[in-house]
Amino acid sequence: MARVRKAVLPVAGLGTRFLPATKAIPKEMLTIVDRPLIQYAVEECRAAGIEEFVFVTGRNKQPIEDHFDHAYELEATLEARGNKQVELAQTREATITTGKAIFTRQQKPLGLGHAVWCARPWIGNEPFAVLLPDELTLSTPGCTAELVALSEKTGGSVIAVMDVPREQTSRYGIVAIRNDDGTVAEVTGMVEKPKPADAPSTLSIIGRYVLLPEVFDHLDKHETGAGGEIQLTDAMARMIGRSPFHAMRYRGARYDCGNRLGFLKANVAVSLARPDIARESRALLASLLKS
């Protein structure tokens, strides 16, 4: 199978669960400690050897483009100050090399499947990764790196899944599997947001995918599914049986930062894990819990 070199980052959603914060600021620019969610997704891609990024954006998403651009005035000022080398390096870390990032607009938020379809001219005929940046995954070497490595072994498409309580299946895409070795299983079906009684398992799709370009053939039809949206899950479901399709149980940390408590949890967890602020964060939390 061809190497996975490109990632699609769908960031056109309205972020309604996070209003009013997301009225003027993209959800993906909300920060976990000191970097925006979208930067974690780009770093996860880089750890997987991915070099090219297609951002599917919408109105009000300009700050994402600016974040990955060269910030001439800021960098020149930091350089001139002489004692701001760390800050300068941190600023530059958030730059994507010229020509390696494409920003295309979805225009109407018709669903995740439609957002991914908007990226097709820049993907061409090769396998590619998809990351939903509001789902933060933290592990070494990274969820996407694990998926890319697995896809090289199995060929075909691979997606990351995690167990959820049965009463929550109607919030997620859920897979049906067979030949489960405890970590990797063949996918035999998938359904978007099933009622708990109808769910074929409790394994939910967590927003990390490596897909074959054939998914665009199915997305081309623009068929709507759950919630009246063009669902990526439906297009993926049509690929099952035509090419290998595997699910990988992801065992690292994962935070749904599209909702307030998931976002809060991610900020606390990352603060406690960051060597530069871990001790103070712990003390701060202890004192807040006492008061």
Residues near ligand UTP, by CB under 6 A? 10-18, 27, 56, 106, 109-112, 114-115, 132-134, 258
What minimum distance in Å lies between the beta carbon of 262 and ligand UTP? 11
Could you tell me which residues are beta bridge partners of residue 9?
55
CB 171 within 8 A of CB 202: no
Coil/strand/helix, residue 52 = strand
What minimum distance in Å lies between the beta carbon of 134 and ligand UTP? 5
> In this complex, which beta carbon is closest to ligand UTP, that of residue 90 or of residue 168?
168
Coil/strand/helix, residue 66 = helix
> In this complex, which beta carbon is closest to ligand UTP, that of residue 111 or of residue 127?
111
Comparing every residue's Cβ against ligand UTP, the nearest one is 13
What minimum distance in Å lies between the beta carbon of 1 and ligand UTP? 26
Name the phi and psi angles at 290, rounded to 5: -75, -35
CA dist 10 → 192, 227, 260 (Å): 18, 18, 20
Largest CA distance in the chain: 63
What minimum distance in Å lies between the beta carbon of 268 and ligand UTP? 21
> In this complex, which beta carbon is closest to ligand UTP, that of residue 106 or of residue 169?
106
CA distance 4 to 177: 24
> In this complex, which beta carbon is closest to ligand UTP, that of residue 48 or of residue 136?
136
> In this complex, which beta carbon is closest to ligand UTP, that of residue 203 or of residue 257?
257
What minimum distance in Å lies between the beta carbon of 26 and ligand UTP? 8
> In this complex, which beta carbon is closest to ligand UTP, that of residue 107 or of residue 183?
107
Residue 169 per-residue DSSP state: G
CA dist 87 → 26, 67, 186, 267 (Å): 24, 15, 46, 21
What minimum distance in Å lies between the beta carbon of 76 and ligand UTP? 33
Tokens of 164: 């959820």
